[in-house]
Amino acid sequence: MAVAFSAIGLWIVLLILPGLRRPPPGFEPRVCPQCSQSNETEAVVCEKCGAAL
């Protein structure tokens, strides 16, 4: 029974680890140079202050 729980625990950890890595370049949120707000990847203007990204 303990082996089954250990195997399930290991499987869950292996599923979570790829999600903790940083996204590849180009998929990171864009940071506003004026107010340091994090915006969506394809944003052209800042959602908070309206500055051009």
What is the tens place of the pLDDT at every residue in 1-53? 677 778 888 888 877 777 667 777 767 788 899 998 888 878 889 988 989 98
pLDDT for res 35? 93
Distances (CA, A) of 50 to 21, 40, 53: 30, 13, 9
pLDDT for res 13? 81
pLDDT for res 30? 87
pLDDT for res 4? 73
pTM: 0.45
C-alpha distance across the termini of the chain, in Å: 55
Backbone angles phi, psi at 13, to 5 degrees: -60, -40
Please say whether the beta carbons of 40 and 27 come within 8 A.
Answer: no
pLDDT for res 19? 67
Q: How far apart are CA 48 and CA 46, in angstroms?
A: 5
